[in-house]
Chains A and B, each alone.
Chain A
Amino acid sequence: MILVHELTKNFGKLNVLQKISTRLEGGISYALVGPNGSGKTTLIKCILGMVIQDDGYILVNDEPILGKWEYRENIGYMPQIGRYPDNMKIGQLLDMILDIRPAQVTTDDDLINEFGLRKIADKRMHTLSGGTRQKVSAALAFLFDPAILILDEPTAGLDPIAVEIIKEKILSGKKKEKVFIISSHILSDLDELSTHLLCLEDGKLLCDNSIENLKEQTGEEKLGKAIASMMKQNQTEFAL
């Protein structure tokens, strides 16, 4: 579904992404991990077309995305920190998004209902807590039932009930052959939700492997430990 080929991006002298190549398929949930500043968000923004790469290319459904916008009909994006026009009310925001995308008929307002967003439709965006904002972001990401979902720290700051709702939503989406890209620091959640690991460090793709394989290779049962052990191994390789 998504092909990333030798993707390179520099911010000034900083090499944020260095020749990243990978291939993402439907029905698989990808865990995108890496230390702070390793390029996770930049990679996501490249796929969304918000950041323009310096070199390499990305194909979505076999089409190059550079300068295109139509392909985003297939993508739902939940940003790390959802920033919305301050003076808008939740209801207005939802209505606006529905209004400007009339071409898409099928909508999925499960999350709107489950989070009870319509009940607080009159609240202005700038009055919302971080968690409620996250709920709005999640609802918007799933709203048009897209085939690709990019979730940047989806569970951070959410109450446990909401976390469970999102997890349910992801697991059911996986069954519908959707692609999930989930970036998170909460590895226990990723262990539960994802099947494949993409690990970035200093703009390089350190690991592109299924979680099952990884656990087998490292002999660990938990994702966290598996990653730690993999990194240690990596460093030894460097040392050698």
Chain B
Amino acid sequence: MMKIAKYALLDILRNRFVLFYTFFLLLVSLSMFSLDSDSSKATLSLLNIILMVVPLVSIIFTTIHFFNSYEFIELMLSQPINRKAIFASEFIAVSAALCTSYLVGIGIPVLLLNNSAESMVLILSGLMLTLVFVALGFAASISTRDKAKGIGVALLFWFYFSLIYDGLLLYIIYSFSDYPLEKITLMLVSLNPVDLARIVILLKLDISALMGYTGAFYKNFFGSSLGILYSLGVLGLWVIIPFLISIKVFLKKDI
């Protein structure tokens, strides 16, 4: 399996996009730190990149890569190789490429320029988001037959988790503003990996915002080590569940 992943990874690296992405992230994080003398504020500015750009690039790149490597998958399928292994290899290859880009582009600069517990949470959350959106990208590709549709579904996923979901959440909060909603919103937040990552990072970075009337509740929950474990666990589920669904569909898919 590792051999196939190796060849899939080589294929990704031959395409310059990953290199470009790495440099883009590197440029962004370095310019954030040089523009802002306050390193924790720069780290906070990076939050937007991590919440918007990283998921978008991850899911679109995964989808395009899947359809571009259709030939490769076809070739592998005619060989005596397990379908599961082929799928898992592709997943590993894409994840490895994007995670490496992320670590080089954001992880290393942040650790060098602002080495703190907040930075670790930021890096870890971004890494998890990368994996989540790679998994969602595979789910989007597997469930469609051509590239254009695949990218459409992928964009929809991204749009849903970045914007639509929060809109719905706001609507719910508005409609039920007379009721105590803390626990319900806590649960609803878990259902969106982007929100979950955002809140975990914010509670480490920009605590004052969430220390308001209801903030203390979130702080108590997410601020505890149990809360961090819970968040990472839920983000993990957001990787595993789409992955398992995709692999199940892939096993039955006609190539």
Q: Taking beta carbons and an 8 Å cutoff, which residues of A are in contact with B? A: 11, 45, 48-52, 67, 69-73, 75, 77, 79, 83-88, 96-97, 99-101
Contact = CB atoms under 8 A, between A and B. Distances in A.
A45 B254 contact: yes
B80 A79 contact: no
Contact of B255 (A11, A45, A100): A45
Interface string B3-46: 11001000100110000000000000000000000000000000
B214 interface: no
B83 interface: yes
B144 to A, nearest CB: 15
B77 interface: yes
Given A51-B255, A71-B80, 5 more contacts: A48-B77, A50-B74, A83-B70, A88-B11, A101-B79
Given A85-B11, A87-B14, A96-B7, A72 B79 contact: yes
Contact of B71 (A71, A77, A83): A83
A48 B255 CA distance: 11
Nearest to A85: B72
Nearest to A71: B80
Contacts of A49: 77
Interface residues of B, number: 26
A100 B71 contact: no
Interface in B68-105: 68-72, 74-83
B183 interface: no
12 contacts: A45-B254, A48-B77, A48-B78, A50-B78, A67-B251, A72-B78, A73-B80, A83-B75, A85-B72, A96-B7, A97-B75, A97-B79
Contacts of B68: 86
Given A50-B74, A51-B254, A85 B69 contact: yes
Contacts of B252: 52
Contacts of B11: 85, 87-88
A4 B116 CA distance: 64
Interface in B200-255: 251-255
Contacts of A70: 80
B15 A84 contact: no
B247 to A, nearest CB: 13
Contacts of A69: 80-83
Residue of A11, A70, A79, A85 with highest tally of chain B CB at under 10 A: A85
A101 B80 contact: yes
B78 A79 contact: yes
B77 A100 contact: no
A117 to B, nearest CB: 16
A75 B78 CA distance: 8
Given A87-B14, A87-B15, A50 B71 contact: no
A99 B4 CA distance: 9
A77 B78 contact: yes
Contacts of A48: 77-78
A50 B81 CA distance: 12
- Counting from the closest, the 5 A-B pairs by CB-CB distance are A83-B71, A72-B80, A87-B14, A73-B80, A51-B254
Given A45-B255, A99-B3, A100-B3, A83 B78 contact: no
Nearest to B85: A69
Contacts of A101: 79-80
A127 to B, nearest CB: 14
B65 to A, nearest CB: 11
Contacts of B253: 52
Contacts of B70: 83
A52 B78 contact: no
A49 B7 CA distance: 22
Contacts of A77: 78
Contacts of B251: 67
A100 B7 contact: yes
Contacts of A72: 78-81
Nearest to A67: B251
A50 B7 contact: no
Contacts of B82: 69
A8 to B, nearest CB: 14
A69 to B, nearest CB: 5
A75 to B, nearest CB: 8
Given A52-B252, A84-B71, A87-B15, A100 B4 contact: yes
A5 B245 CA distance: 30
Given A69-B82, A73-B80, A50 B75 contact: no
Contact of B75 (A11, A84, A86): A84
Contacts of A71: 80
Contacts of B81: 69, 72, 100
